[in-house]
Amino acid sequence: MIPETHKNLEAGLIALQKEDYTEAIQLLKTFCQETSDKNSLAYLHGHMALARAYRGDNQRDKAKAIAQALQKHPNPEAKTWADGFVSLLNTEEKTYKKVDNSNIHRLDIKAGRAPQIGIKLPAGNLGSNLLVSSVVTIVGLLGMVGAVCFALFFIIDAKDPTTGVMVAIAFTLLLNALMFFLSPLIMDMTQKWLYKTRWVTLPEIRRSSPEAARVIEQVCAQKKLKTPKLGIIDDQNPTAFTYGSLPNTARLIVSQGLFTYLDDDEVATVYAHELGHIVHWDFAVMTLASTLVQVMYLFYLYGQKRSRSSGDDKLSGWIGAASIVAYIFYFLGNYLTLYLSRTREYFADHFASEVTGNPNGLARALVKIAYGLVEEGQKENQPSYLLESTRALGIYDPKNALTTGFTYSVAKVPHHVGRVFLWDLFNPWAWWSELNSTHPLTGKRVRALTTYAEKIGIGGEFNMAGVVKYGETLDKRKLYGNFVLDVVLFNAPFIGSAIGLILGLLIGKGNITTIISSILIGLGMGSLIKTTVMFPELENPEKTDVLSLMSNPYASPLRGIPVKLMGDLIGRGDAGYKFGSDLMLKDPKGIIFNRYSSRLGPLGNFLFGGQRVQKIIGQQVRVEGWFRRSITGWVDLTYLSYKTTEIKSYPRFWAWLFGGSMVVLGIAIEVML
């Protein structure tokens, strides 16, 4: 039978093998403290493992202290190991030097790149084939348009309505074709007016990034393309985007922040990525897909108008049904277009990896762009209009930046950043969250780039191989077993309203009072059910750190995890908004949002943000609440304390109040009216 103390050693060694260094340190420290025989082999092995865990967690001073103590131990095995470990740490201290350049920190040592460029890389199953996804999207949208056309043609007997809708379609297609060719000129004027875009020459790019200039020359020569019109926007938010109607009239624009936050080789991979969009013609396909989605919406508006104006009740019903189908197709068409948008990003990454031979450089670039967006976001008084207006065009969706950027801003250790990608790769909620995104999640892109690096035969960035290996050991039942039920519970208010509507129609037989009452009761019941699941009891929450939370592959936006954190409040969640009540907490492992909820509702949040938040920024605090994770993570606060002051938050109160009020209101309407 294994002694109780040895269980911590065994569990700590397993955590160390999985590179869960935070868990390993906690378990191994407990084992070493509880072991009375300091000369036993188990104690020595536990101490050696603890030193390795500290090293993996980038706590090199603690790792070195343990090793130096073991150098004096009488056990020859321990002494030999300690001598080698101290030598390794000394070598790493010479190699891993932090560079301070305009408050940007990076490791001098980088994962490798191919000894030559232009190596062909298999795309594998990392993203659907760009041609296939383009064809599926366009054919699917054309099919939807055709189906609604035929429906309207056969439903509407009169010639005028049919002619009218055909003219409307022709006009829409003609207008979009005209916009397709004029849009680059319109975008040029918009860029110049809003963002003061500077059009620059290739020699000017070479002065900022010699390798980027070489990549542009190389790709244009190989693909027989005219050099794109090159622009720079004087904005420190790092971004890059391409637009145009034809490859030889394309515009490739980057922000000044790209040169600020990225190294030369990383800037070159970003330019190569944007050139990939030009070579693949995918911006033209996106324009066509968007046009077809607009046509579906036009059908919907037309059908609704004809349904209301028709004097024939039966005909009006059929037209209304056709318009609803058109809206459903419009809704599905948007998701097809987003799917195509995500796929083209994978293939632009693949193209950049091939032409530069540096997939690791692009992986680093994506993480540093996220970091730059977070850093600049904290400085600005309002959201960046540049990022909002170019979200679909840019190399990175700024909404995906927070988790990666926050982790890199504090840890700046590759394997720490890699750990937060576990959720992106293995949690089903990641797939759900990605459906509404124009770009793949960062973890998926970095994993693809790491695979390319492995194909070339060079080391990958951010220890993604270890992340994937650990992900394969996760409890699949825990990840996927209740996912469908959780999606239902997450949407319980909407589902409850829909059920209430159906029951109201069946029971009330057209009585509007009964229908409204049923909808409100269904909404309230759904909200109460969701609230029960979202906020479990908060007794003795686990003390943890931000990195451990963000690395939790089982976290979800629905089921809150009771947690306790300690750290410094460094600012507001809404940067620049002086009445913002949400807070940003920083501990030694990361930064996370904390959402405050006053018992007085929005008014109380406003007063708290205006009167108290500024006074507690900079304070070391202890917080308790429920951790949730979607594309980013946050804590719904229930308690915050600093010095002798305690602040309470009430997220459950308003959720319960809303649900209960809807039920009571629904019953009252039915009884009184």
Neighbours of 473 (CB within 10 A): 10
Give Cα 203 distance to the centre of its chain.
36
Q: Where are the alpha helices (DSSP H) in 310-400?
A: 313-356, 359-379, 385-389
Q: Where are the alpha helices (DSSP H) in 37-158?
A: 41-56, 60-71, 76-95, 130-155
Nearest to 325 by CA among 163, 503, 161, 143: 143
What tokens appear for 337 in the block? 């277009």
Report the distance separating Cα 195 and Cα 76, nearest Å.
67
* Eight-class DSSP state of 398: G
Q: Where are the alpha helices (DSSP H) in 358-399?
A: 359-379, 385-389
CB 28 within 8 A of CB 53: yes
Nearest to 497 by CA among 467, 527, 468, 456: 527
Looking up tokens 């298999």 gives 122
- Is 274 an active-site residue? yes
Looking up tokens 């009761």 gives 521
Among residues 19, 211, 274, 376, the one annotated as catalytic is: 274
Contacts made by residues 56-60, CB under 8 angstroms, sequence distance 24+: 56/16, 56/19, 56/21, 56/24, 56/415, 57/21, 57/22, 57/25, 58/411, 58/413, 58/416, 60/89, 60/92, 60/93
Nearest to 504 by CA among 523, 487, 489: 523
82: three-class secondary structure by DSSP: helix
Looking up tokens 């020359």 gives 217
438: three-class secondary structure by DSSP: coil
Catalytic positions are: 274
